[in-house]
Amino acid sequence: MKHLLLKVTALFLLVVSCNSNDLEPAPKAMEIDMSDFFVYTDTSTDIMSKATDSKDKRRNCHTMINLNRLLDENPGLEKKMYAIEYQTRKFIASKKPSGTPGGGPPGGNEDPDPEPPVAYDGTITIPVVVNIIEKELGQVKESQISSQIDILNEDFNNANPNTSGAPDNFKNLVADYNINFQLAGVNRKESSKNSWGTRDAMKSSKKGGIDATDPAHNLNIWVCEIGGGILGYAQFPGGPAKTDGVVIGIDYFGETVGAYGDGRTATHEIGHWLNLRHIWGDGGCSVDDFVTDTPVSDGPNYGCPGETTNCGTIDMTMNYMDYVYDNCMYMFTIGQNDRSRALFASDGYRSSFVNAN
């Protein structure tokens, strides 16, 4: 009996040993540096100081001020945006051939999910619902709507003809986002309201506006008179679903007239919706936009400037996330594209746009 027990024990150890040799090593957890990440911005900074004259001070994006407001009103938003940023950096790190940044998530240095995200490399199709609030029906022309969709498809597929004029130091950084926008619906509503402000009233039927249409599967664009000289504003990934989308002033939606009449306000604001900060990082030379291939700058550029140097580098004034005139902005970078693509990865915040539910 004793000899039989020893044989059974030996056989068991042999099986365990063989199975152990067949096991693949557990994937190594990534280490992601989050030490530079911030959500609140100093909106008291005089970012208008770089404008050369008063007419150049007209472009006014309210996105960062809107973000600060949402952070104050939603106590869990900062943590949620931290998680989105962590996923974004993990996605970008997983694309690198070797090496990852150092650091880690809150509460520890190891990634709780060491498996890399699965990228979505195909063409992304984004249905667009346009919600128009106007003084009289038809104030916003059908031509504005169709031209705006055309402009978005041009800009997010690297088809802006002005890109051919990119300076040599930026030519190899121009990205094709490979995103197609398709008009999914138009909602119109009459209102005698002179301006809607920036507290999302236009996004609520209870406040006289129009409710969002299925924001998990549609990009909602609200078109209305914002007021205060504001061209538009957006909501970053992570904010409340019922207000997810972008807002554009009537005069700046699609092809209209003037320096901001080429529809690029929507391109700029959708850049925020796709998790891009302003090109200067909304701070001084020590603050970044979390994109490695965009140069550091101390503030926005206006008008149609020539070569401009700040913080020891040449400004990428032609980037869609700057404040220049519409016909002088014409590129996103590869790094910006990587950042936005993270949203559509298997674990990304906007994965519902590419994954059937």
CB-based burial of residue 355 (10 Å sphere; 0-12 exposed, 13-18 middle, 19+ buried)? exposed
Count helices and strands in the chain by DSSP H and E runs: 7, 7
- The letter for the amino acid at 133 is I
For residue 258, give Cα distances in angstroms to 79, 254, 263, 292. Answer: 41, 12, 11, 33
Using DSSP bridges, classify how beta strands 232-234 and 219-224 pair: parallel, antiparallel or unpaired: unpaired
Q: Are 209 and 201 in contact (CB under 8 A)?
A: yes
Using DSSP bridges, classify how beta strands 232-234 and 246-249 pair: parallel, antiparallel or unpaired: antiparallel
Write out the two tokens for 96: 């690198």
- The letter for the amino acid at 49 is S
Q: How far apart are CA 204 and CA 115, in angstroms?
A: 40
Q: Which of 85, 136, 269, 307 is catalytic?
A: 269
In angstroms, how far is the first alpha carbon of the chain from the final one? 60
Q: How far apart are CA 340 and CA 111, in angstroms?
A: 21
Write out the two tokens for 147: 């031209």
* Sole residue written with tokens 């770089």: 50
Helix axes 264-273, 142-155, angle to 10 degrees: 60
Alpha helices in the chain (DSSP H): 2-22, 63-73, 77-95, 142-155, 168-171, 264-273, 334-341
Write out the two tokens for 343: 């949203």
Task: Let me know if 269 is a catalytic residue.
Answer: yes
How many C-beta neighbours within 10 Å does residue 216 have? 12
Of 113, 123, 101, whose CA–CA distance to 36 is shortest?
101
Q: Which residues are catalytic?
A: 269
